[in-house]
Amino acid sequence: MTNLDSALRVRGLRGGRVSDSTRAMKSMKKVGILTGGGDCPGLNAVIRAVVTRAEQLGVEVLGIRGGWRGFLEHDTEPLTRARTRGILHEGGTILGTTRVNPFQVKGGPERVEACFKAWHLDGLIAVGGEGTLSLAQKFHERGLAVVGVPKTIDNDLSGTEVTFGFDTALAIATDLIDRLRTTAEAHERVMVVEVMGRHVGWIAVHAGLAGGADVVVVPERPTTLEEITKVVLLRRAEGKTFSIVVIAEGALIQETDAQEAHLVLSNQQPDAFGRPRLGGIGAHVARCIEEATGIESRVTVLGHVQRGGTPTARDRVLAQRFGVKAIELMHAGQSGVMAALQADQIVAVPLAQATKRKAVTEDWLQVADVFCEGPDLSKNPPSGSSG
């Protein structure tokens, strides 16, 4: 074998799997790709991986800008190796993203299908979280060829052990908890850290463990304000003059004398997918702690900081593995599936299964119980709660 033959084989241009798969499905000429929902680190790594592998397979890639909105506004961009060169380490997405839902727009689904035909697309790779992939499943059911890629910092998609974006968000949250610890100790304060995660507590549990939090509050375990303040006062009595409370934005809090735990919302108007707009629980809990204990309490809402910046090495690698798998699944003629991580292998799972919510499991909560000083709420959940 010559050096040229060897180099071409490594790059997938001669022999091996690429030639086999190219012969297997010569009819595929063009696919679209979109990034929908909230952004997260690693999106550009997926786009780059899809484009790189697609060119090796002889498939053209059309970028749909602004998520599903790109179909409605005819906003597209041809994607090539040259266009995606140098974006691996960049946060955000070169395609942009929105939460537009075509099924809430008059004639929206039909307009998407018309674009599919007009743009000569043989399939679509939808990169997103629960909302985006739910729409992908709907279009699959309407007859379009769609493959999903799981993207969300919340890590709440069933079917995959981890989503890309989660590791970066966790690293950011842990770093900020470490920084807050020093100022909390210096001023003898309670620091309440509100992290993202929507209705699951994966970021809160992992960041709480990594950052050495004293209390971790998650949606999977509704809790009372009294339980939180009890931990703060116990630590103060033991000479520990500060406390770190990590709380997920979707955690359920039961007020004093209330019958049920409740969400704290930043806006009563739901988003485009009918989901509540969460936010504000950190400030609420910090205020209640200070009123109940007299100890100065402050809140830090990490918010969109968790979505931004350079992806970690783990997220870059995982995103590229997902991207390669997605285009290979589509090239093999599959639809209605999502690339997923299971036992360190990238496999295909049904989209219908993938979009189910993945809550923090009891074994993770039990590990958090070992290190946090709060009570084991799994044994004594607040009245009116379902946890």
pLDDT in tens, the chain (387 residues): 444 344 434 344 333 333 333 334 457 899 999 999 989 999 999 999 999 999 999 999 999 999 999 999 999 999 999 999 999 999 999 999 999 999 999 999 999 999 999 999 999 999 999 999 999 999 999 999 999 999 999 999 999 999 999 999 999 999 999 999 999 999 999 999 999 987 899 999 999 999 999 999 999 998 889 999 999 999 999 999 999 999 999 888 877 776 676 666 666 666 656 666 676 899 999 999 999 999 999 999 998 888 889 999 999 999 999 999 999 999 999 999 999 999 999 999 999 988 888 999 999 999 999 988 654 544 444 333 333
Q: Which of 158, 147, 135, 175 is nearest to 312 (CA)?
A: 175
| Catalytic positions, written as ranges | 154
Residue 248 phi/psi, 5° resolution? -75, 145
Give the three-state DSSP class for 114: helix
What is the model's pLDDT at position 14?
36
DSSP for 233-287, please give it. HHHHHTT---EEEEEETT--EEPTT-SS-B--EEESS--TTS--EE--HHHHHHH
Helices (H) then strands (E): counts for the chain: 14, 15
Domains and their CATH numbers in the chain: 3-164+311-354 (3.40.50.450), 168-307+360-371 (3.40.50.460)
Residue type, 79: L
Bridge-based pairing of strands 30-35 and 123-128 is parallel
DSSP SS3 for 90: coil
- CA–CA gap between residue 110 and residue 319 (Å, rounded): 31
Residue 59 one-letter amino acid: V
Q: What's the start-to-end Cα distance of the chain, in Å? A: 63
Residues 6 or more apart whose CB falls under 8 angstroms from that of 216 comprise 201, 204, 205, 208, 209, 245, 246, 247, 368, 372, 374
In one letter, which amino acid is 283? A
Please enumerate, as own/partner, the contacts of 228-235 that have beta carbons within 8 Å and a separation of 24 or more. Answer: 228/285, 228/289, 228/374, 229/288, 229/289, 229/292, 229/293, 230/375, 231/372, 231/373, 231/374, 232/190, 232/289, 232/293, 232/295, 233/293, 234/373, 235/373
pLDDT of residue 374: 52
DSSP 352: H
Contact (CB, 8 A) for 348 and 339: yes
Kindly calculate the radius of gyration of the chain based on its CA atoms and give it in whole angstroms.
Answer: 23
pLDDT at 164: 96
pLDDT tens digit sequence for 137-188: 999 999 999 999 999 999 999 999 999 999 999 999 999 999 999 999 999 9
pLDDT in the model for residue 197 = 82
Q: Residues near 149 by Cβ (< 8 Å), separated by ≥ 6?
A: 46, 125, 126, 127, 128, 322, 323, 326, 338, 339
